[in-house]
Homo-oligomer: A and B are copies of this chain.
């Protein structure tokens, strides 16, 4: 029951059991055609020596600002240079006991980034790096669950939003875009049908008029270049190949 007592207690921040609020970031990028995840190696207990998501305590800032700050710190980029990085709230994880020290409620964020340099230039002592998502072992805390939620959200987002463009540079070819879908979905897509489909969705991409300087490494014509269009939703959606028909 939300009693008066509880509300009065709220005026004294020390009167109820301390709860910490953190943010954790599931940052995804694509390197060499494979989906990668940003991880750090913890230097302190608990889970010292185990890999974990980048994150930390929320300060006097919005939750999204905290996530952007943590991401900037670990990637070595300045926050203002994270402009092309897509960031969205993923979910909040707060089971009692998920952190052995105390009650910690963590707001998880999901980030889509174009290929970024290796971390560590930040000078921080934490060993951070990009790891292929299918080679990530067990993680600290409940970060494995958080990553699983992030991957599922990412796969779903590619279906009905143009966010695949957040993984590539400002100008890209249809084949690069297809490579993003293949990496995130883990499935090969039919080149011809994908091409026609992308161009048929209004506002998904718009032509720059230019083409690549060279053809593919193993032959093939030059490809036309596109940039992201102004659509925020894909109509009609670009659905995943039907793995099994409906989750039952």
Partner of A63, one of B13, B60, B73, B92: B92
A94 in contact with B63 (CB, 8 Å)? yes
Residue of B at shortest CB range from A122? B1
Give the residues from 52 to 70 in chain A that come closer than 8 angstroms, CB to CB, to chain B.
55-58, 60-63, 70
Residue of B at shortest CB range from A46? B4
User: B residues within 8 A CB of A62?
Assistant: 94-96
A14 in contact with B14 (CB, 8 Å)? yes
A13 in contact with B101 (CB, 8 Å)? yes
A206 at the interface (CB under 8 A from B): no
A91 in contact with B94 (CB, 8 Å)? no
Residue of B at shortest CB range from A54? B2
B230 in contact with A248 (CB, 8 Å)? yes
A89 at the interface (CB under 8 A from B): yes
A interface residue count range (under 10 / 10 to 19 / 20 to 34 / 35 or more):
35 or more
Partner of A20, one of B10, B46, B56, B89: B10
Decide if the interface of chain A is mainly helix, strand, loop or mixed. loop
A246 at the interface (CB under 8 A from B): yes
Give the residues from 1 to 17 in chain A that come closer than 8 angstroms, CB to CB, to chain B.
1-4, 6-8, 10-11, 13-14, 16-17
A56-B2, A96-B62 known; A202 and B21 CB under 8 Å? no
B203 in contact with A232 (CB, 8 Å)? no
B8 in contact with A94 (CB, 8 Å)? no
B202 in contact with A1 (CB, 8 Å)? no
B8 in contact with A16 (CB, 8 Å)? no
B96 in contact with A1 (CB, 8 Å)? no
User: B residues within 8 A CB of A57?
Assistant: 2, 6, 10, 16
Report the 6 A-B pairs with minimum CB-CB distance, sorted nearest first: A7-B45, A2-B56, A13-B102, A235-B246, A4-B45, A13-B18
CB<8 Å pairs between A and B, sample of 18: A1-B73, A2-B56, A2-B126, A3-B45, A6-B57, A8-B101, A10-B57, A10-B101, A11-B101, A13-B17, A13-B102, A16-B20, A19-B20, A89-B91, A202-B246, A203-B246, A203-B248, A230-B248
